[in-house]
């Protein structure tokens, strides 16, 4: 569980709810037609932009914002040096005795152990990296689309409410409550966009960058192991994935 995402989400929504409760009656901030316009309108508008399968898949990808835990480059480099050391000492068959938790690295090492050609291994792993990044980017695009559409739907709901209010001006006392209900759709749209959709999209983009970096590191590790590269040279090459301060420490 990513505590930063969890704390940020609960904190942002919690502060909004607390402000509503402290400011007066919370029931005045609940309006079914406003929810229908903003939530329903946003979802259906995004179905126009993106296919249904991609839209449903985006919500599965969104789980990475809360549950995904990426390995640090330093951990992967240490593991890569260990694997290179074993391969240089005992041959690639010696790698079968090492437990590798990272699925992508394990698949690459297994292909090396099976004696696959370097060109094939590089092609297969590179294609998997590209397809994974593409799926992640689709999820980012969909949540950014929700962040763009929700405020617009909120404005549409407000305009609908204002038109209904202006068409019935016979009772001046009803103007205030009607105006408040009309403005609720703008509030709903702003909350969905800025407290939910856009933060999730940016967190997914950050996760995507981490995954691209780690998988590229793993690809170089597998290629180095297959060529029988000296472990010290492997460590020197892979250290490029570390920040300058950590690189110097390593």
Token output for 165: 């209010």
| φ, ψ dihedrals at 167, nearest 5° | -80, -10
DSSP state of 24: S
Q: Is the distance from CB of 73 to CB of 151 less than 8 angstroms? A: no
Residue 62's pLDDT is: 82
- Over range 204-217, report the average pLDDT: 93
pLDDT tens digits, 142-199: 999 999 999 999 999 898 888 878 877 777 776 777 787 788 999 999 999 999 999 9
State what percent of residues in the chain have pLDDT above 70.
Answer: 96
> Residue 71: CA atoms inside 13 Å, Cβ hemisphere, count?
18
State what percent of residues in the chain have pLDDT above 90.
Answer: 55
| Residue of 209, 222, 55 whose CA lies nearest to 133 | 209
Residue 31 pLDDT > 90, yes or no?
no
- Over range 44-73, report the average pLDDT: 84
- Over range 10-28, report the average pLDDT: 86
Residue 247's pLDDT is: 63
pTM of the model: 0.83
Phi-psi region of 228 (alpha: psi -120 to 50; beta: other; left: phi over 0): left
Residue 133's pLDDT is: 93
Separation between Cα atoms, residue 81 and residue 231, nearest integer Å: 5
- Over range 128-141, report the average pLDDT: 92
Residue 250 pLDDT > 60, yes or no?
no
Residue 208 pLDDT > 60, yes or no?
yes
Radius of gyration from C-alpha coordinates of the chain: 26
Q: Is the distance from CB of 227 to CB of 92 less than 8 angstroms? A: no
């Amino acid at each position: 569980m990513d505590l930063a995402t969890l704390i940020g989400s609960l904190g942002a929504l919690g502060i909004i709810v607390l402000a509503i409760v402290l400011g007066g009656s919370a029931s005045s901030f609940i309006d079914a037609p406003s929810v229908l316009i903003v939530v329903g309108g946003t979802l259906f508008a995004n179905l126009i932009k993106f296919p249904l399968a991609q839209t449903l898949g985006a919500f599965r990808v969104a789980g990475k914002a809360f549950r995904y835990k990426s390995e640090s480059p330093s951990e992967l480099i240490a593991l890569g040096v260990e694997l290179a050391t074993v391969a240089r000492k005992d041959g690639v068959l010696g790698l079968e005795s090492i437990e590798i938790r990272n699925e992508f690295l394990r698949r690459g090492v297994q292909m090396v152990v099976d004696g696959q050609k370097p060109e094939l291994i590089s092609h297969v792993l590179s294609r998997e990296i590209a397809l994974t990044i593409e799926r992640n980017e689709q999820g980012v695009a969909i949540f950014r689309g929700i962040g763009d559409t929700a405020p617009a739907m909120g404005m549409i709901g407000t305009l609908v409410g204002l038109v209904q209010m202006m068409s019935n001006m016979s009772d001046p006392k009803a103007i205030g409550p009607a105006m408040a209900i009309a403005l609720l759709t703008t509030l709903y749209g702003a909350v969905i966009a800025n407290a939910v959709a856009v933060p999730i999209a940016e967190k997914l983009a950050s996760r995507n960058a981490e995954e691209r970096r780690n998988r590229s590191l793993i690809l170089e590790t597998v290629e180095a192991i297959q060529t029988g590269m000296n472990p010290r040279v492997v460590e020197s090459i892979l250290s490029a994935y570390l920040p300058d301060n950590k690189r110097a420490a390593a």
